[in-house]
Structure 1
Amino acid sequence: MLSPQDQLTELVRTLETAQHVFATDPLLVTEKLQVEDGSPIQKLHRRASRIDSNGALARVLGKIDGRIKGIMIVMSVVWCVSGFLGLFTLLQANVVNFFYVLVCLLGFHTIMLVGWLVLTLVNQGKQSSNWFASFVSPSHLIRGKDDITQAAVGLYEQQLQHSGMRWYLGKFSHQLWLATLTGMLFAIIFLLIVRQYSFSWESTLLSDQALITLTHLLGWLPSMVGFDVPDNTAIVQSRLVTDALPLSVARQWASLLVGSLLMYGIVPRAIAWAFCALMFRRKKMRLDIKLPYYQKILNFWQRHVVDADDFIEVAAPVAPKATVSAGKKLVALLEYPSNQEKWWQVGLELSNNSRNEHKIENEIENFGIVDDREDMTRLIAYLEQHSVQVLLGIHNKALPDRGTLRKLDQIATHAKHGLIVQLLNNDTVPNQPESETEMISPKDIRQQQWQTALSERKIGLVNNY
């Protein structure tokens, strides 16, 4: 899996590619980060966090991640309880066949562990079948048809298909086995505390000496860490026992049973779990900053110095100067409000210095803010019925993106006496000294973007920046 920060960054990339509207404008954030310090990865993480200023993206990712981890915890608890109950049921008799119980405890577990080891050696560098991806598919864990949810689900499903997930699946499989064996260990200890058992063994083909040899081989590893192993006399005494053995002999067999479960079950499985965890960390997904999306952002941040010797300055496009026609005017704000009540006075007075303010105001109708589709429909209907010149006020935070320019083109098409634009400066921060503004500010970049867009459309501009 990607780290939480990488996941958020990738989700922002996916949504921005799909033209999603974020809580904070990505272009504004990108421009401000140009002058900040930090490695490329750190700045990309910072950019994603600022774009997700309301935390909507992080909440969806956290919800999916929490539910996946919740399923894993619940499954581990269920496996632990099943191991406890299984062994509790197995040890109901007072006289227990030692080797039969041992095979029930470790037989299938050992086969599965050896099988996993063989498959790991055979499938080196190959991706195993991803049953876990279909079992805990994020689309089953979270419901939602909105863009954020769908993109987050797609991001998680993409991660589940990564080649490094084979180690994540192995880690989870070993975790379930450890839970089962731990439940068995708790059951054994609990029953040995509250009940008194006798241990025996039976065999048609094996002699006493063969069982003595087998028991000592089995007890070699547990004895290395302090567990008791039955001696030769105890082993012979335990054959075909139907009554209680001496307590010292029963304790030896009980100690060997617990030691075998630990040394041949829990310890090997814990080693396999740790190995998978280490390999998963080494194969963990990383943010691919070589993608064109990230390269475009990084290249923008690196545009700081231009050599004067080989630089050929190209004149930037300039919008034509606005000409105010005689007659009625319709003033409107595009998407953003203005902190000035009569923002339009500056634009009209610049072109009509000889006309008094009262007369100008009598010729003006204030439409308000044009934002959503309903506002546009109402404005177009008005323009089709009235012959007016439109003065459109645009906030300095507004982007000349495709949606905004589409609105601009529609208004220009229906305005019978033409359209002029006034760029509004709503900043409350005073101008900095010239020495502190040698680098191009985001506001200057935005102003030039509007100059270019209006120049292409031959729309007059009243520049109030």
Structure 2
Amino acid sequence: MLSPQDQLTELVRTLETQQHVFATDPLLITEKLQNEEGSPLQKLHRRASRIDSNGALAGVLGKIDDRIKGIMVVMSVVWCISGFLGLFTLLQTNVVNFFYVLVCLLGFHTVMLLGWLVMTLINQGNQSSNWFASFVSPSYLIRGKDDVTQAAVTLYERQLQHSGMRWYLGQFSHQLWLATLTGMLLAIVFLLIVRQYSFSWESTLLSDQALITLTQILGWLPSMVGFGVPDSTAIVQSRLVTDAMPLSVARQWAGLLVGSLLMYGILPRAIAWAFCALMFRRKKMRLDIKLPYYQKILNFWQRHVVDADDFKEAPAPIAPKAQVSAGKKLVALLEYPAEQNQWWQSGFDTGITDTTDIENFGILDDREDMARLKAYLDANPVQVLLGIHFKALPDRGTLRKLDQIANHAKHGLIVQLLEDNSLSLTEHHNTGNDVLNAGSDSNLEKQHVRYQQWQTALSARKIGLINN
């Protein structure tokens, strides 16, 4: 079935198409959600919850769900009691025919389990269980002629007809069988505690050796988990027993009976139940947001209406102008070498005049370079002038280096973007609008984009940029 959030969302869709009057106006909620964050499905769930502000829709869905689960619990209890009473009635004699009781315990159960397995292997398609939907129709569980109740009943009936319900039905069937077998197990354990039984076997066609072989085969799996199995002598002595038998032999037969019920009855049925539960989860019904109703809402949330008369283009982020401090400077290149040896001379007009106060660190490339630089900055109060070539991408790793340098530079960090080939940064910056319109010069366009990327990164970090 659908999850509770999906059910509520789908119920809102059904009622809104029927012009239902909700506790809160759906249009108002839809408009308020336009600017909120979240995935489309999360916002649809949020929308349905806010439309159902008084909880009336969720209450009806919860009532139907609780009654369906209640019926399943009651049926499981009834099946458990029936299994207990059935075996309690069967074991009223002191001398028990072992194989007769074993067939009564597991014969029909095994046939039904094998039948289910064969039908599951044959029926690989996703057929729905229409008869099951009619058998447990929510219309039998809740009364009401109002549109909310009727829409909720229709929603549940549509879910019960989904192809994945075949696994839900199989899971419920195995649950009832488990309840019956559990009742039988409780009855066997109870009677073996309060009564002393003798076990025998009878056969017209089978010899003693055949029964010994059959019993050993039957007891192989229970013996693997510690249950007792009668030996050859005990099996021969148990033929046509009409009176009390040695207690040690009776306990061996009792252990084999309980072990057979567990290993050949409860365990296979529990595995089948778990398999159906897993398949039902995989085939679980999902909310179809591709329906026109949902697509209309999602398209509205993605639409941004702009008045052409009032529209103002947001300015591109610009890095602050570099402020050169007095004192010693350290210059370094980030990852790429410069075309000129003293590349920082283009920034002299911003205040760098005494080259004796300039320490050239070289190129920062690997972790060792960064560690050496940070150690130097921690020991020396300098302002760092970092030269960044246009080839350098402002990716996560590069920006992490930039942040580390800024944190360790006691007198601050300023940046100078180095030009590529013969194209100067000033020329590039001043002709930015023309570059965007000129498809012939791809190199110029790439540098313009890269320049703006660095402007944005430096602006976010409030790191000054030298406009040379």
Q: TM (normalized to structure 2)? A: 0.65
Q: Percent identity?
A: 91
Distance 1:42 1:304 in 2: 20
Q: Does 1:288 align with 2:272?
A: no
**1:322-361 pair list within 5 angstroms:** none
- Gaps of at least 5 residues in structure 1 are 312-465
The match for 2:80 is 80
Residue-by-residue CA offset, 1:302-358 (whole Å, 9 max, x unaligned): 0137697xx9xxxxxxxxxxxxxxxxxxxxxxxxxxxxxxxxxxxxxxxxxxxxxxx
Letter aligned with residue 64 of structure 2: I
Distance 1:126 1:234 in 2: 51
Residues 1:124 and 1:307: Cα distance change in structure 2 (over 3 Å): farther
The match for 1:33 is 33
Contact 1:26–1:51 under 8 Å retained in 2: yes
The match for 1:187 is 187
The match for 1:48 is 48
Contact 2:185–2:258 under 8 Å retained in 1: yes
**1:11-410 pair list within 5 angstroms:** 11-127=11-127, 129-304=129-304
Residues 1:237 and 1:173: Cα distance change in structure 2 (over 3 Å): same
Distance 1:307 1:32 in 2: 19
Contact 1:24–1:52 under 8 Å retained in 2: yes
Q: Over aligned residue pairs, what C-alpha RMSD do you find?
A: 1.4
Residues 1:307 and 1:258: Cα distance change in structure 2 (over 3 Å): farther
Residue-by-residue CA offset, 1:214-245 (whole Å, 9 max, x unaligned): 00000000011111100000000000000111
For the residue of structure 2 that corresponds to 1:243, the secondary structure is: coil
Letter aligned with residue 46 of structure 1: R
Letter aligned with residue 184 of structure 2: M
How far the C-alpha of 1:85 sits from its partner, in A, is 0.1
Residues 1:6 and 1:152: Cα distance change in structure 2 (over 3 Å): same
Distance 1:102 1:125 in 2: 36
Distance 1:30 1:125 in 2: 39
The number of residue pairs the alignment matches comes to: 310
Residue-by-residue CA offset, 1:27-54 (whole Å, 9 max, x unaligned): 0000000011000000000000000000
How far the C-alpha of 1:135 sits from its partner, in A, is 1.6
Distance 1:296 1:73 in 2: 41
Residues 1:307 and 1:28: Cα distance change in structure 2 (over 3 Å): closer
Distance 2:178 2:259 in 1: 15
For the residue of structure 1 that corresponds to 2:35, the secondary structure is: coil
Letter aligned with residue 207 of structure 2: S
For the residue of structure 2 that corresponds to 1:294, the secondary structure is: helix
Residues 1:130 and 1:250: Cα distance change in structure 2 (over 3 Å): farther
Letter aligned with residue 135 of structure 1: F
Residue-by-residue CA offset, 1:379-414 (whole Å, 9 max, x unaligned): xxxxxxxxxxxxxxxxxxxxxxxxxxxxxxxxxxxx
- Gaps of at least 5 residues in structure 2 are 312-468
The match for 1:341 is none
Contact 1:130–1:166 under 8 Å retained in 2: no
Q: TM (normalized to structure 1)? A: 0.66
For the residue of structure 1 that corresponds to 2:96, the secondary structure is: strand
For the residue of structure 2 that corresponds to 1:34, the secondary structure is: helix
For the residue of structure 1 that corresponds to 2:256, the secondary structure is: helix
How far the C-alpha of 1:129 sits from its partner, in A, is 4.0
How far the C-alpha of 1:125 sits from its partner, in A, is 1.7
How far the C-alpha of 1:132 sits from its partner, in A, is 2.2
The match for 1:457 is none
For the residue of structure 2 that corresponds to 1:67, the secondary structure is: helix
